[in-house]
Structure 1
Amino acid sequence: MPSSPASPAPPVAEVIASSTREILAEVYPDAEVPAFGSWIEVETEGIDGRGGAVLYGLVSHAETGSVEPGRQAVALGADYDRDRLRREMPQLLELIRTTVRAQVLAYWDGQSQREGRPHVRQTLPPRPAALHDRVRPCAPEAVAAIAAPFDVLRTLARSPDPAVPADDLIAAALRGLYKSHGEGPDGEAVLVAAGRALARLMDDDHERLQSILRRVE
């Protein structure tokens, strides 16, 4: 398998539902919940059992609630903090789960290379992730590969998740792109290029564009 952009980080969640457009994953109890607007990846298995694709998604929603459908948690009172809850009522924590939803925006097919680097395609994958595939936070190198012409921004602007404020998610995606390039001159150059791409997508709606860019700072 060619050099992969897949993250060496340990998995933080597991796929419990998926489509070519989105991933729903349950976060492991002791893992850090992926932040809104952060990039996650899922390395899938190929049809022949060998390496498959790496799917990239932008976290658009996180939710914590009861494991049992229709059963809502109740307040325990001001005397309880999380440490005391772990000591005295650990069984309650077993009834709580956190899930994250991510909009799939790009993938690497496991083979394609460009200039000696994996070529990440900014489009929907041909197949969804499988149930119980592991979810990892993206390595900065993988996020940095999502560059001009920024087709992922077109998807976010023109085909957003209807349950998510699109502009907030775009702003978070821009922050991720900036940080992946080191938050220096390289990051600023990428941010300028992405801003220009957004201006074209938004039909020169400068007020909306400025609103998004203000949230990046």
Structure 2
Amino acid sequence: MMNLSDDMLLTYSGFFLVTVVVSCLVNGLALKSSAWAPRNKVKKIIRWQSTTKPSFGGISFYILFLISLSVFTMLSGIEEVTENKQLIGIIAASTLAFLVGFADDAYNTIPILKFTMQICCGLILIYSGIYIDLFASPELNYAITMFWIVGITNAMNLLDNMDAISSVVSIFIILSAMLIIYLKNDLSSVYFLLLLGVLSGILGFLYFNWHPSKI
């Protein structure tokens, strides 16, 4: 098992602390500016809470994702990103998911559009070589992967109706993924840094999303 060197521990700790602060600042700014943000007020949405709260919390996640990617690029070189087909797929799918989520926060997009974009995200990941490999049949593996992606996405959307639940669940999922990377002796991979950045984004968001949530 890889031992976490002093330099790596210091680098990751500093990166984590800085990105948590950035997340808090971005979410605080989003909270203040949400009153002027566009939103379709005609269409009604069923929520489990009687109060209306500002949206756009996902902005901080995507910003921290990009910051993490940029830091890795500066440390390892652009070739480590451009020559990694799976990473390109993750970037493309994450960007599409963010844009759709941002549009939904602003304009309450119709369900069929969100469902179609979820399928597109799944197709992007599968095309880039990211899929669940359980059976000899590639088609069956692709179908299971698509079902998992769409299912998890909508499950997290459902949990988002309750204060802090989706954030806490996401934190445990990310920590589990980071533990797997640690056990595989791959702490220097881009995926560990991306997970660390998104984790800090969620922690900064959780400050505003804890009951009673402000965002």
Give TM class, smaller chain: under 0.3
Q: Which structure has more strand as a fraction of its residues?
A: 1
Q: So what's the TM-score if we normalise by structure 2? A: 0.23
Q: TM-score, normalised by structure 1?
A: 0.22
**Higher RCO (CA < 8 A, seq sep 6+):** 2
Of Structure 1 and Structure 2, the greater helix share is in: 2
